[in-house]
């Protein structure tokens, strides 16, 4: 039920409520929010960050020709003619200097080849003839069991593309490539202003952290339009969230945003989360007015504020959950004209609708394995319909997950 049907006598404000579709709200965010500029950070701490530019190898990887197995390093040309009937002998030589003629050096996997060596014979293809001498009975070709310098990545080659969210093995690769610092998208700073006595601060703090935002300020503010205008006019952050609930606090927040910049969207056809409003300050900082009721606050964050933070951070802006096609085990009913979030439990490969956010508040999320988004245009889904389930990353192995096969 939207504010636009509120009795006129109650609103001291002239702002018309004009509830918009979720798509309109997402389009506004995508049109007004872009990734932040880059900052340069040490590679060692860069896991999880998003590359702002491609990373190139500064050195060959590997840096030198090295053994791919434990074995003996030798000159391939000296193995010509070796056979069981004609074993060829090699004298053991030091691995840290150039090989003499008919010399061979013991090398461990990943060890640098000695000078003159161009092949490695795996240790189980080598026979000890007598102390200090070994024999081989098969010829090998140059490069055999050798990882050549630059064979994984040659100097100057692109190791990782711009936009890559660095995984642990990417960090390892950059180190090998001689890269010590990388340009990454700056983490967005977020300021949260809480009007009245709502307890959504820790919820929002955890959500912002998950989305790689940095919560720089979380503070209560008076339900006072002028004070809120001032706070919005000097945001000192990349995004501002304002949480408000009840007794005119939303009107106050909406009025302040109109005064301090632009109120672009007031009210969205999202349940829970309908009272969300979106705009920006005069300096272009996006501002999200979030309803204070916890479930509504959660979903207004996930769809709108979180999307802006994810975009600023250079992340995938979509809902940050794994999506999986599943069949419903019961009918899901929804009102046309509202995008509704329906919590589900996953039982085998079926999604079962469970207690709603209206009935259970945040308990509905904590008791669910994930949720289905019922689009505005839909009345819901029949039993057995295929739906996209967004799965929470709970401790339990997700449906379809398995342990290591043996």
Of 31-39, 74-82, 167-175, 259-267: span binding its own copies (CB under 8 A): 167-175
- Which residues, 294 to 313, sit near its own copies by CB under 8 A? 294, 296-298, 303
Measured CA to CA in angstroms, residue 195 lies from 153, 228, 239 at distances of 54, 9, 17
Rounded to a whole number of angstroms, the CA Rg of the chain reads 31
What mask, x for binding its own copies by CB under 8 A, covers residues 225 to 264? --------------------xxxxxx--------------
Q: How far is the CB of 33 from its own copies (least distance, A)?
A: 15
Taking each helix axis from N to C end, the angle separating 225-233 and 249-260, rounded to the nearest 10 degrees, works out to 40
Q: How far is the CB of 88 from its own copies (least distance, A)?
A: 16
State the CB neighbour count (10 A cutoff) for residue 172: 12
Q: How far is the CB of 254 from its own copies (least distance, A)?
A: 13
Nearer to its own copies, 107 or 285 (CB): 107
What mask, x for binding its own copies by CB under 8 A, covers residues 47 to 76? x--x----------xx-----xxxx-----
Nearer to its own copies, 176 or 233 (CB): 176
Nearer to its own copies, 22 or 285 (CB): 22
Using the rule CB under 8 A, is 160 a contact of its own copies? yes
- Which residues, 322 to 341, sit near its own copies by CB under 8 A? 322-325, 339
Using the rule CB under 8 A, is 151 a contact of its own copies? yes
Using the rule CB under 8 A, is 108 a contact of its own copies? yes
Candidate residues 87, 139, 143, 201; the one interacting with its own copies per rule CB under 8 A: 201
Using the rule CB under 8 A, is 202 a contact of its own copies? yes
Using the rule CB under 8 A, is 401 a contact of its own copies? yes
Of 77-85, 166-174, 230-238, 329-337: span binding its own copies (CB under 8 A): 166-174
Nearer to its own copies, 6 or 97 (CB): 6
Of 79-87, 120-128, 255-263, 281-289: span binding its own copies (CB under 8 A): 120-128
Measured CA to CA in angstroms, residue 167 lies from 33, 89, 174, 209 at distances of 25, 47, 11, 18
Residue 289 phi, psi (nearest 5): -95, 115
Using the rule CB under 8 A, is 22 a contact of its own copies? yes
Give the C-alpha separation, 329 to 346, whole Å: 9
Using the rule CB under 8 A, is 293 a contact of its own copies? yes
Q: Binders of its own copies: how many residues, by CB under 8 A? A: 117
Candidate residues 38, 58, 363, 385; the one interacting with its own copies per rule CB under 8 A: 363
Candidate residues 44, 80, 333, 336; the one interacting with its own copies per rule CB under 8 A: 44
């Amino acid at each position: 039920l939207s504010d636009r049907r509120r009795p006129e006598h109650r609103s001291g404000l002239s702002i018309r409520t004009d509830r918009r579709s979720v798509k309109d709200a997402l389009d506004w965010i995508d049109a007004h929010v872009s990734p932040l500029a880059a900052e340069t950070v040490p590679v060692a701490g860069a896991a999880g960050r998003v590359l702002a530019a491609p990373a190139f190898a500064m050195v060959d990887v590997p840096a030198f020709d090295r053994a791919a197995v434990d074995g003996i390093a030798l000159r391939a040309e000296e193995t010509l003619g070796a056979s069981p009937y004609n074993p060829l002998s090699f004298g053991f030589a030091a691995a840290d200097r150039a090989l003499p003629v008919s010399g061979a050096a013991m090398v461990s996997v990943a060890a640098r080849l000695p000078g003159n060596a161009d092949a490695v014979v795996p240790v189980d293809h080598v026979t000890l003839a007598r102390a200090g001498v070994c024999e081989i009975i098969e010829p090998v070709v140059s490069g055999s069991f050798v990882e050549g310098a630059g064979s994984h990545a040659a100097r100057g080659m692109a190791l990782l593309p711009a936009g890559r969210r660095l995984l642990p093995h990417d960090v390892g690769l950059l180190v090998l490539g001689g890269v010590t610092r990388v340009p990454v998208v700056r983490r967005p700073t977020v300021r949260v202003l809480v009007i009245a006595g709502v307890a959504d601060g820790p919820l929002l703090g955890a959500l912002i952290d998950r989305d790689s935002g940095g919560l720089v300020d979380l503070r209560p503010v008076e339900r006072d339009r002028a004070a809120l205008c001032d706070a919005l006019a000097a945001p000192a952050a990349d995004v501002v969230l304002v949480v408000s609930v009840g007794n005119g606090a939303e009107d106050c927040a909406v009025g302040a945003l109109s005064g301090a910049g632009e109120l672009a969207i007031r009210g969205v056809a999202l349940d829970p989360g309908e009272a969300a409003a979106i705009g920006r300050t005069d300096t272009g900082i996006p501002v999200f007015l979030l309803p204070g009721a916890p479930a509504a606050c959660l979903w207004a964050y996930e769809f709108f504020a979180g999307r802006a933070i994810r975009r600023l951070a250079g992340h995938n802006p979509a809902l940050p959950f794994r999506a999986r096609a599943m069949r419903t085990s019961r009918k899901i009913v929804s009102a046309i004209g509202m995008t509704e979030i329906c919590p589900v439990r996953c039982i085998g490969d079926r999604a079962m609708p469970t207690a709603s956010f209206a009935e259970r508040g945040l308990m509905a999320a904590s008791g669910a394995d994930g949720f289905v988004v019922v689009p505005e245009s839909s009345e819901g889904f029949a039993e057995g319909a295929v739906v996209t389930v967004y799965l929470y990353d709970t401790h339990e192995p997700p449906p379809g997950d398995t342990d290591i096969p043996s």
